[in-house]
A and B are shown apart, each in its own frame.
Chain A
Amino acid sequence: MISRRSFCKKSLLIAGGLAIPFAALELFDPKRLLAEKNDGKKTRWVFLVDTHKCVGCGFCVKACKTENEVPYDAHVSRTWVERYVVTKDGKTHIDSPLAARDGFETKKIDIGEGKFEDIKDADIDKAFFVPKLCNQCDNPPCVQVCPVGATYQTEDGVVLVDRKWCIGCGYCVMGCPYGVRFFHPVYHVAEKCNFCYHRISQGMKTACVDACPFGARQVGNLKDPDDPVTKIIMTERVNVLKEEYGTKPQVFYLGLTKEVR
C-alpha cells in the first residue's frame, strides 16, 4: 500500500521527469535553429501605394468586399480610402464615408453621426487620398497578443486568421495601431486584409490591385530583386505608416505627408 505522501512525491517526480525531455525537444528544434540562422525564405509579400495616383473612386473597396465576402452593406471593410483636406488655417479634415466603398460622392467632409462639414474650395491648401489596408507587419502586434494562436504569420509574411480557432476576444483588434481588424459580421471572428492570400499564392494580383484603374496599388515580392515593386521600394523615397510603434509595416507609400494618420 502506497502512502499518500509518497504517492504525491512520486507523481510530482514523474511529472517533472516527463517535462524535462519535452522541454529539451522544444529547446533544440533543428528547424527553428536553421530558421534563426539564415532567413532562407524566397518570398516576402509587400504592398506599394502611390498616393499621387489615387483619385478616391473606391473601386478597390468594392472589389475587396466582393472578393472576400465581407457583407457589402456592413460598416466594416478590409481596405478603405481616406480623404485628407488640409485648409489654410492649418487644420486637417479627414473622412472615409462607408470606407469609400462608393467613392466620395460629395465635397462635404463626413464628421460622423450623420453630420457633414462644408469646406470652400478657396480655403483648401491641399487635398489627397490615402488607401489603407493591412500592413502585414514584420513584427505584428496582433499575432503577439492572440491568446490561442488563431492569428499567425505565414512564411511569406502575410498575417492570417484561422476562423475555426479564433475565440473572438478582440485583443488583436485592440492591438492593431492601424485599425485594420474587425469582427466578421457573419462568422463572428476576427477579420482582416490578407493581401488576397488565396490569389497572390496562385500567381494572381490582389482584388484591389486588379480593380484600381490608375495603378495606385501594387503588390510585389520584396525578396525578388527584379520585381517592379521591389525596384521602386529600393530606389525611391518611400514611407510607412506609424513607424513609431515598432511594428515594421510592409505597406510602403509614395507621397506620404505628416498629416496622414
Chain B
Amino acid sequence: MVHGEAWTLKEFFVYPNEYIYWTIQIVMYPFMTGLVAGAFVLSSLYHVFGVKQLKGIARFSLVFSFALLPVAMLPLMLHLQQPQRGIEVMMTPHFTSAIAAFGIVFSTYGMIVASELWFVYRKHFVETVQELKALQNRTVLQQLQLLLFSALTLGAMDISHEALEADERAVKKLAAAGIPVACFLHGYAGFIFGSVKANALWMTPLMPVIFICSAVVSGIALCMLTYIVTMEVRKLLARRKAQSYPELPTPQDLKSAETHVVTMTAKYLLMFMVAAITLELLDLIFRGYTAVKSWDILRSVIYERDFVNIFVIQYGLGNLLPFIMFLLPGLTIRRAVVGTALVLLGVFMMRWNVVIGGQAFSSSLSGFMHYHMPIWPDNLETYKEGLMGALTVAVVPFCIFWVLNKVMPVFKETH
C-alpha cells in the first residue's frame, strides 16, 4: 500500500499521486511548537516587562516551555518516512527550504531557555548542594543527587546578594532575547505552510503572524490549565499535611494566590485571542473578497465540507464561547478550566483546519480528499499517523515536566 492510501478517500478528480500526506502529526507539530512559544512569551511578560501579577506563573511556564521543547520535534520524527536521517536537517541544511531553519532556530531557542532556567534556578542548585554536603551519612540516592546538582551549578557557587542580582539581570536579558526567537520558532512553522504556493489555502503572508498569535493563546491557555491542576494537587496535599507541617501554606492561601494568578493571566489570554481571531477573519474575508481562481473550491471546503470543523468547533466552541466565559465578571477557577480547555481545542482545530483542510481539496481544484484518521493502529504507520501517535505526543511533555519539576521545583521561592 502506498503511503497515505490507508487514510485517504478521494472524491471527483484528484491527481493519481495525491493523498493526505501530512496527517495528524503535522497538526501536532505546530500545536506543540505553539505551546512552547506561548509558554515562553507568558514567562517573559514577567521577566522582561515586569508584569508583577504574573510572577506566580512565570517560572512555572518557563519550565513547562522547556518540557515542551523536545516534544516539538517528536511529531516531525514520527512523521518522517526516514526518521533515522532526520538529523540531516541539522547537519546538511538546504537553506532555501523553510524547514532547514529548524535546526538553527530550535537549538538557539533551546539554549536560551536552558540558560535562562539555569540563572533562575542557580540559587536552588547551590542551596541543594550545600544542604546535601552538610549531611554526614549520605545514602546512595543523596550521593547521586549531590553529583547531579553539583554538575548543574557548573561550579558557580557564589550566591551572595550581588551575584544573585547579576543572575536576575541575565534572566531579563535572556528572556528579552528569547521573545523574538520564540516568535521566530513559531512564525517559521507558519512560514512552512504560508510559503507553499501550490496550496491555495495555505499560501498567505498572514500565516506566520496568525500562527504566532494563536501560539501565544494556546501557550497561555495550557499554562493556566496546568497551573490550576498543579495548584489543586497542592491544595489537596496541603490539606493532608496541614497538621504535621504547620509552616506550609494553608489551602486558603493557595486558593487566593491561584485565583489572583488565573484572573490576571486570563486578561492576557483575551488580548492575544482578539489579535488571533482578527487576523484569521481578515484572511477569510480577504479570500472571499478577492475570489481568485481557487476560491470556488476553497469556498466549498470552508463553507460546506469543513463547516462544522471551522465554524462550529473552531470559531464557536473554541473562540466565541471561551471569549464570553472569560469576559463575564467574577471568573471562577472552574470556569477558567472549562474556558482554557475550550481555547486549547479551538487552537488545535485551527491547526487541524489548516493542515488537513489544506489537503481536503486536490491541486487540480476539481476534487476532494478526506482524512480518515486511524483510531486503532494495525501497523506502525497507522500508529504513527493516527490518534495513538498524536496522544503519545500529547502525553510526553507532561512526563518531562514531572521529571523537570523534581530538579527545578516550579513552586519553590528562589529569589
Contacts and interface: CB of A to CB of B under 8 A. Distances in A.
B17 A170 contact: no
Contacts of A167: 80-83, 85-86, 88-89
B337 to A, nearest CB: 37
Interface stretch (A13-21, A182-190, A214-222): A182-190
Nearest to A176: B198
Given A165-B88, A169-B99, A113 B2 contact: no
A232 interface: no
Given A177-B363, A183-B2, A147 B100 contact: yes
A177 B89 CA distance: 24
Interface string A169-195: 111011111111111010011000000
Contacts of B195: 145
B2 A168 contact: no
Contact of A147 (B12, B15, B22, B102): B102
B3 to A, nearest CB: 4
A206 B192 CA distance: 35
B332 interface: no
Contacts of A245: 197-198
A145 B99 contact: yes
Interface centre among A80, A132, A171, A179 (most CB of B within 10 A): A179
A222 B363 CA distance: 28
Interface residues of B, number: 50
A217 B250 CA distance: 82
User: Which of B81, B86, B93, B367 has the most chain A CB atoms inside 10 A of its CB?
Assistant: B81
Given A112-B14, A141-B198, A147-B93, A179 B363 contact: yes
B365 A171 contact: no
B197 A148 contact: no
B199 interface: yes
Interface string B76-96: 100111110110110011101
A261 interface: yes
A2 interface: no
Contacts, number: 151
A149 interface: yes
Given A167-B89, A261-B364, A261-B365, A174 B16 contact: no
What's the dominant secondary structure at chain B's contact region?
loop
A170 B21 contact: yes
Contact of A80 (B12, B16, B86, B362): B16
B13 to A, nearest CB: 4
Chain A's interface size range is 35 or more
B92 A149 contact: yes
B139 interface: no
B124 interface: no
A210 to B, nearest CB: 22
B97 A171 contact: yes
B163 to A, nearest CB: 14
A212 interface: no
A245 B86 CA distance: 29
A239 interface: no
B254 interface: no
Interface in B62-81: 76, 79-81
Contacts of B92: 148-149
Contacts of A181: 17
Contacts of B82: 166-168, 188-189
Contacts of B16: 75-77, 80, 96, 98-99, 179
A78 to B, nearest CB: 9
A144 interface: yes
A141 B98 CA distance: 12
A1 interface: no
A27 to B, nearest CB: 15
Contacts of A188: 3, 81-82
A99 B18 CA distance: 11
Contacts of A143: 96
Interface in A100-141: 111-113, 132, 141
Interface string A63-75: 0000000000011
A95 B13 contact: yes
B366 interface: yes
Contacts of A165: 85, 88
A15 to B, nearest CB: 15
B88 A76 contact: no
A149 B17 contact: no
Given A146-B97, A147-B100, A179-B362, 16 more contacts: A74-B2, A94-B12, A94-B366, A98-B16, A145-B98, A147-B89, A148-B92, A148-B100, A165-B85, A167-B81, A168-B80, A168-B81, A175-B198, A177-B197, A179-B363, A261-B13
- Closest 5 A/B residue pairs (Cβ): A168-B81, A179-B15, A149-B94, A147-B99, A177-B198
10 contacts: A74-B1, A77-B17, A113-B10, A132-B15, A145-B196, A166-B85, A168-B85, A189-B82, A245-B197, A261-B364
Interface of A: 74-77, 80, 82, 92-96, 98-99, 111-113, 132, 141, 143-149, 165-171, 173-183, 185, 188-189, 244-246, 261
Interface of B: 1-5, 9-19, 21-22, 76, 79-83, 85-86, 88-89, 92-94, 96-100, 102, 192, 195-199, 293, 362-367
